[in-house]
Amino acid sequence: MSPISEPQLFAFVYGEARLLDEQQFEAWLALFTEDGHYWMPLTHGQTDPLLQGSLMYEDKLLLRVRIERLAGQRTYSQQPKSRSHHLLQQPTVEADHSWHKPEQGQYVLRAAFHYVESRQDQQTTYAGWSTFELIAVDGELRIKQKRVDLVNCESALRSIQLFM
């Protein structure tokens, strides 16, 4: 297995954000492994999504349910639909992360972001870092886990409708 280059890894992270901003949720969901997770910790430095509360800790099934809700005709909180915009800092390869093993097709990247979610006349801005645990499956990158750490994760947050 040949290692995936940094430009390919960076392009994957940028492409993932674009899929979300363009609301191509089915294509975005397809980026996850079958046992993949989307995790948004409740506290800074949180190490366990199961033994500690999280803002979100969703497996692929729960992500699918949320995507179906977003597409539903009776989802009144999405009429009109929310929109999002990701502004990402260039990702960094986290070579010292214990899960990062390029020789086994496992990569960890981190990208700081500003995220805007908008619906009607309300716009909410969030800032934080996304950490991607990626794995090469048949030469294609897949998300094993996406962790979204918000700067203000311990604050009372408005309802987050989309995916960061």
Instruction: Tell if the pTM clears 0.75, that is, is over it.
Output: yes
Q: What is the pLDDT of residue 80?
A: 79
Q: How far apart are CA 163 and CA 134, in angstroms?
A: 18
| Residue 147 main-chain phi, psi, to 5 deg | -110, 125
Q: Which of 142, 143, 154, 157 is nearest to 39 (CA)?
A: 143
What is the pLDDT tens value at each position of the chain, 164 positions in all? 678 999 999 999 999 999 999 999 999 999 999 999 999 999 999 999 999 999 999 999 999 999 998 887 776 666 778 899 999 999 999 999 999 999 999 999 999 999 999 988 889 999 999 999 999 999 899 999 999 999 998 888 878 888 99
Question: Which domains are seen in the chain, by residue range?
Answer: 6-45+54-150 (3.10.450.50)
In angstroms, rounded to a whole number, what is the distance separating the alpha carbons of residues 64 and 68? 6
Buried b (16+ CB within 10 A) or exposed e, 15-49: ebbebbeebebeebbebbeeebbbbbbeeeebeeb
At residue 63, the pLDDT reads 97
CA proximity to 157, closest of 112, 115, 111: 115
H/E stretch holding 141: strand 140-150
- In this structure, are residues 92 and 100 in contact, taking their beta carbons and an 8 Å threshold? no
pLDDT at position 161 is 83
